[in-house]
Structure 1
Amino acid sequence: MAEGTENERVRELQARLRQLGHFHRSPTAFYGSMTGKAVSAFQQERGLPATGEVDGDTWAKLTATSRRPTAGELRPPTTNELDKPDARCMTGRVLCVSKESRTLAWMIDGKVVSAMDVRFGSENTPTREGTFQVDRKERHWKSTLYHTSMPYSMFFSRGQAVHYSADFKARGYSGGSHGCVNVRDMDRLAAVFEQVKVGDKVVVHW
């Protein structure tokens, strides 16, 4: 396993590293730079070459020093920790969305005003990455394609929006969106909805 890998074995890797204090967020199943740094730290601690990639020796050491993760450890319901903001999020008014940490941070001039857990689209309907702008807001909206309720929608990319999801609140990361950025904390999103203006920046990144 190395940076760019995305599968359930990566989720297990992250959960085991979290048990040992090397990975400080909920498992995402995506092997990004933070996972690489956690692997390097584990390798260094165990006297292995600190490559940041998982080979047979690294996996054997990891499984010998950790236990098989529980379902709750693989998909914890707890709030995710923010990662270091993308450089594009450090100026102006930005909805900064990290796919790796599964968080949304509402930032103004480099400072986090509010943060919340999010989930994304499935493999067949992925959430687009890049820099966008909020092009419209809808306090009450129903998807014309999927006929699902989308309260507090802030649209940013050809129908994809940040919005509250009752399904996310109920099922957590067992489900996924059709491409939108789902939020499960309605009160927190409602407060951000009131502050965000049409034209504010949206950054979706790993």
Structure 2
Amino acid sequence: MHRTSVVARSLLAATTAVLLTAGCSPRQGAPAASGTAADHAGKPVSDARPTPPAESAPAAPAAGPGPSRTAAATATAVSPSNSPAASPAPSTKSSDDAKPAERPLMARGAETEQVRELQARLRQVGHFERSPTGFYGAITSRAVASFQSKRELAPTGTVDGRTWRALVAMTHRPTVNELRPATTNELDAPDPRCMTGRVLCVSKESRTLAWMIDGTVVAAMDVRFGSENTPTREGVFQVGWKRESWTSTIYHTSMPYSMFFSGGQAVHYSADFAARGYAGASHGCVNVRDLGKLKSVFAQVRVGDRVVVHW
């Protein structure tokens, strides 16, 4: 009887050891099954919390110390970034105010075909009273500022995208005659440097030459200038020498009644200018198309007289 009890007790101990080993932890490398005894080893089943449904279960917390799931969820719920009150207020600026300033398309000193078109369009709406020259000087700047003021744009005198779009919207594409009219150009206001002495006063913007003595205009005529590749120089010069008949040693073209003022650049008659008008350009000289007027001025001008070429 005693021997049997000992054997029975040994079998009971062995069975209990096997059961305890199986329920201690999940198998290495395998996830614990939700809601099984493996999740609550060593605790009464009545202490185990029910597992929430999968769609409502909060995300598992990161490894290491930190707030509990409940605390993290609460912090997320009241985070300032998620609060409607913390959303940035909508901007009260208009779309035009928010736009950055546009880069200028045309400004003083430019000499291009687009400037010629600008002048022709400004003339259509009564802001430019001269023939287009293609040169952006003080007169063009004032005309642009006048147009901008009329259209409630900043009167900068410089053409940006907004100014150009407004002008194009209210004008038509200039015709050939509008871009290069054959009419005589109106004299520009004399440059201050032309107001004393004997001066050939040449304006690039109005495309005119005025022969002046002590501030009085003695004669005036239309002129044209060099192209972008061979521009006519600006500044104050003197007539260095004169030739009634001359042929260019570089271009082999006739240059009657030449008055040289800056190297090879001269005021002279141009048969091409007389025939084609502003459809052509010189190689840097000041071309005159009225032969009669130039012959008269040529006879009066002396070597040493000043030549002022300005905007």
TM range (shorter): over 0.9
Partner of 1:28: 133
Mapped pair 1:140 → 2:250? no
Partner of 2:234: 129
1:97-142 per-position Cα deviation (integer Å, ceiling 9, x unaligned): 1111111110010111111111112222222211111121111111
What is the CA–CA distance in structure 2 between the aligned matches of 1:138 and 1:169, rounded to whole Å? 20
Q: Which has the larger radius of gyration?
A: 2
C-alpha distance 6-140 of structure 1, shift in aligned 2 (>3 A): closer
SS of structure 2 residue aligned to 1:81: coil
Mapped pair 1:162 → 2:162? no
Partner of 2:182: 77
What is the CA–CA distance in structure 1 between the aligned matches of 2:310 and 2:171, rounded to whole Å? 30
TM-score, normalised with respect to structure 2: 0.64
Partner of 2:215: 110
What is the CA–CA distance in structure 1 between the aligned matches of 2:157 and 2:229, rounded to whole Å? 29
Partner of 2:197: 92
The structure with the greater share of residues assigned to helix is 2
TM-score, normalised with respect to structure 1: 0.95
SS of structure 2 residue aligned to 1:15: helix
Which structure exhibits the higher relative contact order, with contacts defined as CA atoms closer than 8 Å and separated by 6 or more residues?
1
Is the CA contact (8 Å cut-off) linking 2:111 and 2:228 kept in structure 1? no
What is the CA–CA distance in structure 2 between the aligned matches of 1:2 and 1:125, rounded to whole Å? 20
Q: CA deviation at 1:143?
A: 1.6
Is the CA contact (8 Å cut-off) linking 2:231 and 2:283 kept in structure 1? yes
Q: CA deviation at 1:201?
A: 0.6
Partner of 1:63: 168
Partner of 1:14: 119
Q: CA deviation at 1:14?
A: 0.5
Please tell me the residue identity of whatever aligns with 2:132. Answer: P
Please tell me the residue identity of whatever aligns with 2:113. Answer: E
SS of structure 2 residue aligned to 1:73: helix
Please tell me the residue identity of whatever aligns with 1:158. Answer: G
Partner of 1:174: 279
Is the CA contact (8 Å cut-off) linking 2:257 and 2:268 kept in structure 1? yes
Mapped pair 1:191 → 2:291? no
> Which of residues 34, 45, 65 in structure 1 aligns to 2:150?
45
Q: Which runs of 4+ in 1 moved over 6 A?
A: none
- Please list every run of 5 or more consecutive structure 2 residues that lacks an aligned counterpart in the other structure: 1-105
C-alpha distance 7-123 of structure 1, shift in aligned 2 (>3 A): closer
SS of structure 1 residue aligned to 2:119: helix
Greater mean deviation of Cα atoms: 109-118 or 20-29: 20-29
- Please list every run of 5 or more consecutive structure 1 residues that lacks an aligned counterpart in the other structure: none
Please tell me the residue identity of whatever aligns with 1:167. Answer: D
Identity of matched residues, %: 74
The structure with the greater share of residues assigned to strand is 1
Q: CA deviation at 1:184?
A: 0.3
Please tell me the residue identity of whatever aligns with 1:59. Answer: W
What is the CA–CA distance in structure 1 between the aligned matches of 2:198 and 2:244, rounded to whole Å? 20
What value does the CA root-mean-square deviation take over the aligned residues?
1.3
Q: CA deviation at 1:2?
A: 2.0
What is the CA–CA distance in structure 1 between the aligned matches of 2:232 and 2:191, rounded to whole Å? 17
